[in-house]
Every structure is written in C-alpha cells, then in structure tokens.
Homo-oligomer: A and B are copies of this chain.
Amino acid sequence: MSSAIPVHCKECSVHNNCVLGHLTPEELEQIDRDKGCSIFKKGQIIMPQGSKPSGVYCVFNGKVKFTRLGSEGRDHIIRLGTKGDLLGYRSVLANESLSASIVALEDTQVCFIPKSLLLNFINENVGFSLSMMQQACQDLGESGKMITNLAQKNVRQRLAEVLLMLNAKFGKDQDDFLDVKLSREEYANMVGTATETLIRLLSDFKIEGLIETNVKRVKLVDEIKLANIAQLEN
C-alpha cells in the first residue's frame, strides 16, 4: 500500500455510481478533510478477514474481490467490487468483524472514510441513510440469488452464470474481452469448484464456441447460449 494524490470528493468521477453521491457538498468537504487516499498493488490485502475495520474504503479505480477462507483452507470469492463501491460497510454497520478479506485484483486506488464520519452522515442525512440501506438490501438480494444457484445448479450452469455476471458488472474492453482478469483458480473460487474441473469446463465452452480465451482474458462469443446454460430467470 502507498499513499496517493487525493482528488476532491466534489469533483470525483465515481459519484454517479456511488452511494456517496447522495451527500451534500458540505458533507463531501468533510470527507476531504478526514479521508486518507491510498493505492493497493495487485494481490495486496485491503482489509483482512476477521478484523474490525475502523471505517470504509471508497473505490476510486481498480477492482477487488471479497474472499472468504473456509474451514478447510480453501478460499471462496463471494463478491467483486469496482469503482464507486464502498468496502467494509457491512461490517462497520453491523458492528461485526469482516467475514471476508478484501483483496486487490489489480492496482486499486481507494479513499478511507472513518466510521465516525459515516455514522454522522447516516444520522444527519436521511437520503444518504436510505440509499445505504437500499444498497445493503440489494446486496442481500444478490446473495440470495447466489445461494439458490449454489444449491440448485451444477458447475457448468454456475460457470455460465459467472461469466454473464462478469460481463454485466465489468463490461468489455476494446477487444471485446471481459474487462477483468482472473486466474483459473479465481474462477474456480467464484464458481465453487476445483480448479481442474473449472479448467475442463472452460475448454468445453471454448470447443463449443461459447467463449474464446487468450491467456488470462475471456471473450463471450455466444451470450444467448450461455444464458440458456445458466438458465437465467431474470
């Protein structure tokens, strides 16, 4: 981790897709006074599982994973975060320790907002408070979907779903590849399967013409068939 040149919150580009966009200009200036900006290199732990964070990070750019260490030493990626997401808010608001480590998937610039400040805003700004609550409830809905998927779908279906989810969350780069780089092991940890099984399925998809791969990059070729495999309802 290293510190970085701070941007003024008022001019920050992430506003449109960030709950902090609901704060007043004065409140944003308050953040400016207290916040700390830092850069985490790819692979670095931003917040470790089990710790009680003293505030939240707002992602300025980059990508992160929320990864939970299960009892048998295997990791599971329960969520991904990107520009505009607040990291650790669940833990701060529930006053519980972090149930997952937050790790940088690429070099990631974040701003730290102390817990006290966040709670102030919630107390004083009803609009912000409501949108925080909405965020939590939406995330809860996502989790519910994930639970049903893990419980009812097989690995092939879940992989198709993960690929489409990545497309929805991160979009495509200029070459039409998914704009996020994940190792095979990380894919496996998202799908909830062994790395070998995941590799085999990815090549199956490649053979069937559903995707193309180029080292760490993946391109979705036939999204409709993928959606059929995933059996998406919504």
CB distance from A66 to the nearest CB of B (A): 8
Q: Identify which of A129-137, A169-177, A213-221 touches chain B.
A: A129-137
Q: Is the CB of A147 within 8 A of B96?
A: no
Q: Is the CB of B152 within 8 A of A70?
A: yes
A137 to chain B: which residues have CB within 8 Å? Answer: 89-91, 93-94, 96, 136
Q: Is the CB of B233 within 8 A of A71?
A: yes
Q: Identify which of A13-21, A23-31, A72-80 touches chain B.
A: A72-80
Contacts A129-B133, A136-B133, A141-B99 given; indicate if A148 touches B68 (C-beta within 8 A). yes
User: What is the number of residues of chain A that contact chain B, defined by CB distance less than 8 Å?
Assistant: 45
Interface membership of chain A positions 45-86, coded 1 if the CB is closer than 8 angstroms to chain B and 0 otherwise = 000000000000000000000001011101010100000000
A143 to chain B: which residues have CB within 8 Å? Answer: 140, 143-144, 146-147
A90 and B151 CA atoms in complex are apart in Å by 21
Q: Can you pick out 30 interface pairs between chain A and chain B where the beta carbons lie within 8 Å of each other?
A: A68-B144, A70-B149, A70-B151, A70-B153, A71-B152, A71-B231, A71-B232, A78-B144, A78-B147, A89-B137, A90-B137, A91-B137, A93-B130, A93-B134, A94-B137, A95-B134, A96-B138, A96-B141, A100-B144, A122-B130, A122-B133, A123-B126, A133-B136, A139-B140, A140-B140, A140-B143, A143-B143, A143-B146, A147-B150, A152-B192
Interface residues of A (CB under 8 A from B): 68, 70-72, 74, 76, 78, 89-91, 93-96, 99-100, 122-123, 126, 129-130, 132-134, 136-141, 143-153, 192, 231-233
Closest 3 CB pairs of A and B: A151-B192, A94-B137, A143-B143
